[in-house]
Amino acid sequence: MVSWIRKDSSSMRAKTRAKTTRQSHWTAVLLGGLLALIAICIPIQGVQAKDCTLTAIVWEGYTDSSFEKPFEQETGCAVKATYAGSSDEMFAKVRAGGGRTYDLVSASGDITERLYRAGLVMPLDTSKLKNYSSVFAPFQNAKWNTFDGKPYGVSFAWGPNVLVYNTKEVAEAPTSWNVLFDPKYAGKITIPDNPMTIADVALWLGMSDPYDLSDEDLAKVKDKLLELRPSIRKFWSTAGELANLFESGEVVMAHAWPLTYTQLSEAGFPIGSASPKGKLTGWTDSWMVSKNSRNADAAYQWIDYILSGPGQKGIMDVTGYSGATDLGVEAVGLERAKKLFMDDLSLHKEIKMWQSVKNYDKWVQLWNEIRS
């Protein structure tokens, strides 16, 4: 009996398990159908909004909320940015994370090759970018972001390093970088805390290729920087810091990015900008995608968005930099595009754009001696 009961109880449990299994099966079927229906009814971006965050290390202004928010609303993917103060800082932070910390890098031409050679960025499939054909032809497959015949970056913005000055303290618009050495402004000037500034000084000294400097050339640059050193109030690292230096009255003149001019001008500060002809360095920036990006598809979406009219206009409005696509020209209009030299790229041809430096270790050593 006991055995039967056991047998009977066992049979009952078996039947119960079978019933439960069938119920679970139909529950799973119904649940699967319900989820499928929800997936059809709810837009994809609603799901992405909860889960997708693009991480990026960028120059200031390149992920401003004024144009980042529309991207986020359209795709459901937010962009979380870290600002870099120099290319060296940008490279170090990307390398420290092994390419996993950031999905995107807004690399200038002086570190694109370093990022590539360090194996930190991936080759890009430009066929995934519907707006890539709008990139100015000279900027496609450009030497600053194409290696071993493959594009590792997409150009999206460019501009010169300029001379910015307080118009109340500097009455006449400077026409030469020599104004930085004027004793009248001693102790009230600032320059970027960046070894690439060596290229600017090389240009001031008349050297034809400021990125190919011999030991003798570097010695001359060092002498010129030592001459300037007593007049330097501070070496600036970020555009925000530079703006504060002007607003506090600590400096009246700076070697700067156009972004600072744009920010201070919009704030009503008396600021002017000068671009001494033939003595300009600058940058052509490219979006690069980290080799170990966790959100590569979303990174492509961001790049494509920045190449579009709204993306290009957003960057130009915030930074004052020049865009790199025909869609950008359409977005800002021919008159403004002409002012930004986007119609014929004549200024881009004039600027000695940042590029890789073979003996860069010596540049860093020299720079550390100057700023110490």
Whether 165 has a pLDDT exceeding 70, the answer reads yes
Whether 127 has a pLDDT exceeding 70, the answer reads yes
Q: How confident is the model at residue 98 (pLDDT cuts 50, 70, 90)?
A: confident
What phi, psi does 6 have (nearest 5°)?
A: -60, -45
Whether 315 has a pLDDT exceeding 80, the answer reads yes
Percentage with pLDDT > 90 across the chain: 83
Whether 368 has a pLDDT exceeding 90, the answer reads yes
Q: Are 241 and 233 in contact (CB under 8 A)?
A: no
Q: What is the pLDDT of residues 42-94, one digit of tens each?
A: 333 333 445 799 999 999 999 999 999 999 999 999 999 999 989 999 999 99
Whether 264 has a pLDDT exceeding 70, the answer reads yes
Q: What is the pLDDT of residues 218-259, one digit of tens each?
A: 999 999 999 999 999 999 999 999 999 999 999 999 999 999
State residue 5's pLDDT score. Answer: 31
Which region among 20-24, 124-128, 162-166 has the lowest average model confidence (pLDDT)? 20-24
* Whole-Å CA distances, 260 to 9, 53, 272: 83, 28, 10
Q: What is the 3-state secondary structure (H, E, C) of the chain?
A: CHHHHHHHHHHHHHHHHHHHHHHHHHHHHHHHHHHHHHHHHCCHHHHHHHHCEEEEEECCCCCCHHHHHHHHHHHCCEEEEEECCCHHHHHHHHHHCCCCCCCEEEECCCCHHHHHHCCCECCCCHHHCCCHHHECHHHCCCCCCEECCEECCEEEEEEECEEEEECCCCCCCCCCHHHHHCHHHCCCEEEECCCCHHHHHHHHCCCCCCCCCCHHHHHHHHHHHHHHHHHEEEEECCHHHHHHHHHCCCCCEEEECHHHHHHHHHCCCCEEEECCCCCCEEEEEEEEEECCCCCHHHHHHHHHHHHCHHHHHHHHHHHCCEECEHHHHHHHCHHHHHHCCCCCCHHHHHCEECCCCCCHHHHHHHHHHHHC
State residue 237's pLDDT score. Answer: 92
Mean of the per-residue pLDDT values of the chain:
88
Average pLDDT over residues 329-338: 97
Q: How confident is the model at residue 161 (pLDDT cuts 50, 70, 90)?
A: very high
Q: What is the pLDDT of residues 209-219, one digit of tens each?
A: 999 999 999 99
Which amino acid is present at 31?
Answer: L
Whether 130 has a pLDDT exceeding 70, the answer reads yes
Whether 1 has a pLDDT exceeding 60, the answer reads no
Whether 4 has a pLDDT exceeding 70, the answer reads no
State residue 10's pLDDT score. Answer: 36
State residue 51's pLDDT score. Answer: 73
Q: Are 183 and 177 in contact (CB under 8 A)?
A: no
Whether 14 has a pLDDT exceeding 80, the answer reads no
**Measured distance CA(107)–CA(119) in Å, rounded:** 14
Q: Are 44 and 69 in contact (CB under 8 A)?
A: no
Q: How confident is the model at residue 33 (pLDDT cuts 50, 70, 90)?
A: very low
Whether 362 has a pLDDT exceeding 80, the answer reads yes
Whether 138 has a pLDDT exceeding 50, the answer reads yes
Average pLDDT over residues 174-196: 97
Q: Are 355 and 281 in contact (CB under 8 A)?
A: no
State residue 8's pLDDT score. Answer: 36
State residue 97's pLDDT score. Answer: 85
State residue 50's pLDDT score. Answer: 52
Percentage with pLDDT > 70 across the chain: 87
